[in-house]
Structure 1
């Protein structure tokens, strides 16, 4: 039976104990890791896209996305306190509903972490190049993006380029060198060690929080309530569409659970890190988004026929160019550096420059946590035999999974070098939502199959909270653009091929052993 392979919680804990990572993180560090993973891409990069989809109603979108994450976080907290090992949703699924679905969750998490890390690296590159331009240094376009390359690739496959070919060849490039450099730097930092990474991350978190507090302090006093009308220009569909996209703004809080095996007193500290970081980030999102809307407005841009334009589309770019060419102020929805643009419009260009600098300094922390989460997922899957066991090697000096870090870093770097931000956030969301859904399912199943097991943290009202998490994940998934909806099943089919052609026959549970030491696993059910 393909659903018969379940690795018991006792076997998982025993494996982790034999080949464990160094426990060095406390509750405060975990909370900062969560904030570092979450605050960044969404508020610095995706605010404009959310505004185009929902207008001022994007405030509700942040609440909707935050609520889905909150109920998922409560489910995560129970499982993470019971199973304080690396692996996050993959490990929990393996223990509850079996190897096949666990593999699919781990495979889907590649979309969340690896694709997410690449997207953030490209977003950082855009901000860095913009900051250099504002400082009088114009970074060559040919090595700061891959617009020309992607336009030619799309044309070669008979598709209409998302960027006008003439424009792409004039201002576009062939490789995103800044994104490559930041990806390599983060990879090197992760190899050095978790404590060192957390220390650097803590500094970056403080910088980004200071920048956002400055933004709120400058925009709230002059807030114009008229800019909030109409509040729902695109209706509830727009609100859920924006929520589905800016869900990426919350992605990363679950990376806290992947650090469980490197956490002191994980039963107490992991739930604190998960829920604490989520609460802080949600408050910041609402404050900053309200300040941006109140300062210059956030009504969507429409086409000549009055139809709402798709963010990032060629039509949207053309409409924005026409607006600015007419001498009008560039709308919030057209800006690639939304917060910087708001401060420039309201007469604070110097502070805008500093906020841009903070974004350049802060976004690497998001790349770090995305890549961190991916390496720990791969590490755990390799430790279970589903991936080459060499990937589970731990560096003799730094005590970090260095080989899998190199592999993850190389893949993220290549993607960041040649792929545009574009729809990467939506693609990443599809994998994340699937993982969150499986965590909620696992909590309910485990309450039935193993009710007596000690639960240092219990999800409150689990039979209400977990179903709400499932319903929320499905609703947001169905609110994604069609291409993003299709990515998950296509990626899943590829994952099934890898599983049945390689991983299934090499699984330690399937072979009756706990790990590569060859020890028997009498408590691991396998068929």
Structure 2
């Protein structure tokens, strides 16, 4: 299992050849993290959290943020040691071998693709509201919801996924300035929401605090779901090679962005709960209804039809809905517009990340190298992008945002678990290795990350938990049927990195005392 290790020295030599300029400071890293984190999680999943935890979702944000913080510290150490593309997949390959690296990469494919679907569905809810508020166009519910919500297909989500896929295929990328503008839009929208709601909070709306308790359908389950709201901080750790004084600035960027976003999330949650309440919607018999279920959709439709104000847990555009309910219709429309403008960029980031992992794995020989073919005109891996985009669009068309987020979280939690384990293994097997950033109190932080990720995984709904082992079993079949015998490391070839991606792989130079290349040690 641990035999085929990709040479860490070769990877580091590649990083040296890239010679990236160290220009990022603590502030730039923090803003990079904030831009990567704020997205569908807070704009959409607030309603999902309300249905599971009620007002107790404030605790859920704290729990999910803490687990992300300890995982981020582990992630950062490996990112500073192995500052090349491939994310947790590359780190695991260098530390624990090809099989576990394959499983991490396979899980990351699931994470990014399903997350892109989830963000597409989240954007759809705001788009439907924008069409209604600004143009007076009402999109029929049958075409704006999947079967889970009484509709047929979610066409807006389907088309935004295809549109972003098309942009990626022809090589359209966000510029740094465009990214900065989107960060400002997102932060400004949340700030406006907080200012509008914080002064009219009714503390009675916080009682009962935990109507469904602390379990799977409660605060713990909500924490597992809104873990999705924090994913994106890895943009900070992967920028370690371009950071001035990474030992100081990387942890500031990681923890700073997580703290800022956690404070924003808590204030937004407090504003939403305190103004219109966030108690879960129950069935006619008082039973707890599962988020994203047809039963909840039917109950929400009945509540609205009776003339009662739509509960927060029923809303497809949670933050805009809160403002409209308290009479701030124009400001609610502005929040909806901000989400409508900002969320497609998150879809693009997720799709780009997924295709990048796919591309690196194909270039390693673990997937058919045809998938890594670069288009002669567009200069993008267009085949894998098209395949990914089609799958993402279909997922967005037929599944609810909460279910998609939970499935994405299962893959993310597995990747974070492997990163925390890899940090501990490297501390024992290679303690003298240069670490530009060292995880503080690693023998406490890494076990906390391990326990936290495992706990959140088991707090996910059972169907989301089962997706990961089923997906993993499919991955093992693919690995032993194809990947193991085609692996470049197994064949004694070394990967060629970004500086010359079209060059063929080269034989690994023999090392004194090393086994012959047959899949053991490169």
TM-score between both structures, scaled by the size of structure 2: 0.88
Match of 1:457 in 2: 437
Match of 1:118 in 2: 117
Q: Does structure 1 retain, via aligned residues, the 8 Å contact 2:79–2:237? A: yes
Change beyond 3 A, Cα 1:496–1:182:
closer
Taking the TM superposition and a 5 Å limit, the aligned residue runs for 1:360-371 are 360-371=340-351
Moved more, 413-422 or 222-231: 413-422
CA shift, 1:375, in A, is 2.4
Q: Tell me if 1:517 matches 2:495.
A: no
Structure 2 distance, partners of 1:296, 1:340, is 12
Match of 1:231 in 2: 209
Change beyond 3 A, Cα 1:481–1:435:
same
Q: Does structure 2 retain, via aligned residues, the 8 Å contact 1:444–1:466? A: yes
Change beyond 3 A, Cα 1:368–1:190:
farther
Change beyond 3 A, Cα 1:25–1:58:
farther
Match of 2:180 in 1: 202
Structure 2 distance, partners of 1:21, 1:431, is 32
> Residue deviations 1:100-133, cap 9 Å, x none?
0010000001121111011111221221122101
Match of 2:501 in 1: none
Moved more, 33-42 or 71-80: 33-42
> Residue deviations 1:226-279, cap 9 Å, x none?
111111222221110110111111122224445667x46594665554333322
Taking the TM superposition and a 5 Å limit, the aligned residue runs for 1:288-303 are 288-303=268-283
Match of 1:387 in 2: 367
Q: Does structure 2 retain, via aligned residues, the 8 Å contact 1:190–1:197? A: no
Change beyond 3 A, Cα 1:222–1:369:
same
Taking the TM superposition and a 5 Å limit, the aligned residue runs for 1:179-258 are 179-185=158-164, 188=167, 192=171, 196-237=174-215, 238-258=218-238
3-state SS of paired residue (1:135): helix
1:284 to 264, 269, 273: 264
Structure 1 unaligned segments of length 5 or more: list them: 152-161
Change beyond 3 A, Cα 1:235–1:434:
same
Moved more, 338-347 or 207-216: 338-347
Q: Tell me if 1:337 matches 2:320.
A: no
Taking the TM superposition and a 5 Å limit, the aligned residue runs for 1:462-473 are 462-473=442-453
Change beyond 3 A, Cα 1:48–1:212:
same
3-state SS of paired residue (2:434): coil
Structure 2 distance, partners of 1:25, 1:176, is 43
Structure 2 distance, partners of 1:14, 1:80, is 15
> Residue deviations 1:469-507, cap 9 Å, x none?
000011111111110110010000000111111111111
Q: Does structure 1 retain, via aligned residues, the 8 Å contact 2:324–2:332? A: yes
Q: Tell me if 1:176 matches 2:152.
A: no
Structure 2 unaligned segments of length 5 or more: list them: 496-503
Structure 2 distance, partners of 1:142, 1:306, is 27
Change beyond 3 A, Cα 1:245–1:181:
closer
Change beyond 3 A, Cα 1:26–1:415:
farther
1:495 to 475, 479, 486: 475
Superposed CA RMSD? 2.8
Taking the TM superposition and a 5 Å limit, the aligned residue runs for 1:25-64 are 26-27=24-25, 30-64=29-63
